A and B are shown apart, each in its own frame.
Chain A
Amino acid sequence: GAGVSQSPSNKVTEKGKDVELRCDPISGHTALYWYRQSLGQGLEFLIYFQGNSAPDKSGLPSDRFSAERTGGSVSTLTIQRTQQEDSAVYLCASSPTGGGGANEQYFGPGTRLTVT
């Protein structure tokens, strides 16, 4: 079956511009996570959705970052006024049930964001 998909796969943007990153989770998965993978910081959690609500936004690095999820499916991560330190690979993952600790998370291929 279809896995987690993300778009675009690569995004180059100028400093100060806004970007939107999209994640399509596996159908029926209620939990959705965003992570960021960068050279300096490794893999960091950004935000967790259960259905359409985001009970854990603790990893968002600043108020320039926001995310939403609609219809319990697609999620969009928006970065406003991008900075060079936002350059990273943004990963989305989904999990079949309510974020249970032992449940496997299925990762998408990521969006590589480069801010020039």
Chain B
Amino acid sequence: GNSVTQMEGPVTLSEEAFLTINCTYTATGYPSLFWYVQYPGEGLQLLLKATKADDKGSNKGFEATYRKETTSFHLEKGSVQVSDSAVYFCALSSSAGGTSYGKLTFGQGTILTVHP
């Protein structure tokens, strides 16, 4: 079945540091890939997505590239801010059709803390 593996956290960085959160996946077919973020006290919200190989999703200075050859979708940001402190989830949605279409499979989440 489908699975998503994220790098273990928590991750603690100083403001303006470079961020990478690794994400690899196992899936049949050609899944869509997502990064969701959960800020303290708030619900999950979509950060960015990519729907086919070599697509790059980007939003709020974050980006991730769909790499089919390495089955990866690593999240990066060049200069983090305190306001980026949150839990980040990598997820995939199967494109295999049928009754599971659209169901999200999540990684375990990575807690990011950014200090001033």
Q: B99 contacts A101, CB within 8 Å?
A: no
Residues of A within 8 A of B31 (CB): 101
CB-CB contacts of B32-74 with A at 8 A, as 1s and 0s? 1000100000111110010100000000000000000000000
Contact of B99 with A48 in the complex, beta carbons under 8 Å:
yes
Closest chain A residue, CB of each to CB of B45: A107
Which chain A residues in 79-115 approach chain B with CB under 8 Å? 91, 93, 95, 98-105, 107-110
A105 contacts B104, C-beta separation under 8 Å: yes
- Chain A, interface residues (CB within 8 Å), range: 20 to 34
Of B42, B95, B103, the contact of A109 (CB 8 Å cutoff) = B42
A48 contacts B102, C-beta separation under 8 Å: yes
Q: Which of A43, A95, A99, A100 meets B89, CB within 8 Å? A: A43
For B99, what are the chain A residues with a Cβ–Cβ distance below 8 Å? 48, 55-56
Residues of B within 8 A of A93 (CB): 44, 104
Whether B104 lies near A33 (C-beta < 8 A) is yes
Interfacial chain A residues near B91, Cβ < 8 Å: 43
Contacts of B100 in A (CB 8 A): 48, 56, 58
What residues of A have a CB within 8 angstroms of the CB of B93 in the complex? 101-102
How far does the Cβ of B59 sit from chain A's closest Cβ, in whole Å? 12
- A→B interface (CB under 8 Å): 4, 31, 33, 35, 42-45, 48, 55-56, 58-59, 91, 93, 95, 98-105, 107-110
